[in-house]
Chains A and B, each alone.
Chain A
Amino acid sequence: MSSSRLEILNDGGLRHDARRPYELRSTSFALSTQSNAEGSSTVTQGLTTIAVSVYGPREPRSRANASHDRAVISVEVGVVPWAQGGGGGMKRTRGDKRLQEIGAAIRQTFEPVIMTHLYPRSEIAIHVQVLSADGGILPTSINATTLALISAGISLTDYVTSISIGLHLTQPLLDLSQPEESDLPSLVVASLPSSGKITLAQMETRLHVDRFQEMMDLGVEACKVLKDEMEGVVKEKTRKIVERMDVRGVAVEEQ
């Protein structure tokens, strides 16, 4: 790979894709992108695109998994074969340990946030599909899952937003792309923006303890920004729906 020769931060303080250290990649959120699921969303962050569909709350497919006092959540993560570029990327199948780990992380992140006690004896199935991968699969999946759950009308205590933070020498960088992710120590944080509490934190590379706090605080701050963006999209969508409902309401009254 050529990534070892990549200049992470140039003299002008710009990253390899001309972003500043705290600048996020261009982000787009779309709700209800799939018509056959109860809720769905497609989130694009830079060149990473992830589609999530949520089915449920519905009757559990297998009785053994049901719980009498709350809903159970199942998460499945898949990567389309062309997601990581021809031949160069790793081949990932359904049984892949890394994908199963991402699935487990998503499930455990949302278990305390979804008000599962409102849907006893039922199942909420979350299907995550990575359509194109350029770093930050886990954070983007979490953001997409939050939106899909909102679009499915499932009760949540808060948004969950997530971001990756890297460290170049002493400079923290936000929202890493694939080449940066493979070169830098990185931390993924998912937080509940209203309280600023962290539900998920994952780091896989060596980092000195003293640097860690700074990165975590920055991540929490960035999660708040993402939440504002997402809330804007949700409110816009809701406004449109209400408008349509209003028109019909007026029509009914006129008859």
Chain B
Amino acid sequence: MVREVDPPSIQKEFLLQALAEGKRLDGRITLEQREVNFVFGEELGCVECRLGKTAVLAQVSASIVKPRDDRPYEGFLLINSEIGPMASSVYESGRSSDDEILITRLLEKSIRRTEAIDREALCILAGEKVWQLRLTLHFLSDSGNLLDCASLAAMAALKHFRKPEVEVIGDEVIIHSPDERAPVPLAIHHTPLCLTFAYYENLPPILDPTHLESTLCSGTLTLTLNAQREICVLSKAGGTPLAASEIMGVVNVGVDRVREMVKHLEEALERDREGRVVEVR
């Protein structure tokens, strides 16, 4: 793997000095997130999410497959999230670094293991046919905090996506094309979103670190929360030791922040829905 050049120590000192005064290099305050923007694609289930200069494109597609024998009522959700050199020159295609594995695993845990998507609702004909959803994430540009951006993009795409309507008559399955009948949205239980905090020695934590901030930090903590005040995933893998109260502090900040983010996401989806003709009544 190509090793990145460490930032010069003068830059590090400057950043830490600014943080000690509660300022960040891009003018944000410590617990402020970069601006989140959604760009909805032509098709349903294609969303690009931008978090400052970080961008991730998520695309959902569905196909019909045979379910597993031991779980005849469950559909599949596959998450493809390989980070290629497009995001940043440190990533190599085909070989995954530690960071990359952490991002992939955390996404998988926060979306799949928390059962955000009702997989039983993907069943068409028990033991015979189920929907297989494929969520592909394209990491377009990495300017820090890919994970949060990817989780936003993924949830937006899943909420945006609609699968064709299916009619079952006896053993026969009729799939209606979107021209015939309006496609139906997925059954989504909750909206887990990731929040990443970066820590520095003896300084308060910052939310949504940029690339430079995350290279210089002494540890990060990623929380996946939903609007129902549930922690879905918490991952603090080493780094600066924190007191239990400090962890509870960021959890409490995260709870409010996620509620705002979910609201923002819903609003963006609503705006898109108004400008789009999916069904005619």
A interface residues, Cβ below 8 angstroms from B: 64, 97-98, 100-101, 104-112, 187, 191-192, 195-210, 212-213, 216-217, 220
Nearest chain A CB to B194 CB, angstrom units:
13
Q: How far is the CA of A200 from the CA of B248 in the complex (A)?
A: 14
Q: How far is the CA of A216 from the CA of B231 in the complex (A)?
A: 13
Closest 9 CB pairs of A and B: A108-B238, A197-B241, A109-B238, A105-B237, A203-B234, A199-B241, A201-B236, A108-B237, A104-B98
Q: How far is the CA of A215 from the CA of B121 in the complex (A)?
A: 34
Contact B230 A206 (CB under 8 A): yes
Question: Which one of B105, B218, B236, B255 lies within 8 Å of A198 (CB-CB)?
Answer: B236
Contact A112 B239 (CB under 8 A): yes
Residue of B nearest to A108 (CB): B238
Q: How far is the CA of A203 from the CA of B248 in the complex (A)?
A: 14
Give the interface residue-count category, chain B.
35 or more
The answer to whether B233 has its CB under 8 Å from any CB of chain A is yes
The answer to whether B277 has its CB under 8 Å from any CB of chain A is no
- A105-B238, A111-B238, A112-B239 as given contacts; A206 in contact with B244, CB under 8 Å: no
- A206-B232, A207-B231, A209-B230 as given contacts; A195 in contact with B105, CB under 8 Å: no
- A97-B101, A196-B244, A208-B229 as given contacts; A202 in contact with B3, CB under 8 Å: no
Contact A112 B229 (CB under 8 A): no
Q: Is the interface of B mostly helix, strand, loop or mixed?
A: mixed
- Chain A residues, Cβ within 8 Å of B244: 196, 198, 213, 216-217, 220
- Chain B residues, Cβ within 8 Å of A64: 3
Contact A104 B218 (CB under 8 A): no
- Chain A residues, Cβ within 8 Å of B251: 209, 212
- A191-B241, A196-B244, A217-B244 as given contacts; A206 in contact with B105, CB under 8 Å: no
- A201-B234, A206-B231, A207-B230 as given contacts; A101 in contact with B105, CB under 8 Å: yes
- Chain A residues, Cβ within 8 Å of B232: 205-206
- Chain B residues, Cβ within 8 Å of A217: 244
Contact A104 B241 (CB under 8 A): no
Question: Which one of A109, A192, A206, A216 lies within 8 Å of B237 (CB-CB)?
Answer: A109
B239, B240, B241, B252 interface centre (most CB from chain A within 10 Å): B241
11 A-B interface contacts by CB (under 8 A): A98-B105, A100-B98, A106-B238, A109-B238, A111-B238, A199-B236, A199-B241, A201-B234, A202-B237, A204-B109, A213-B244
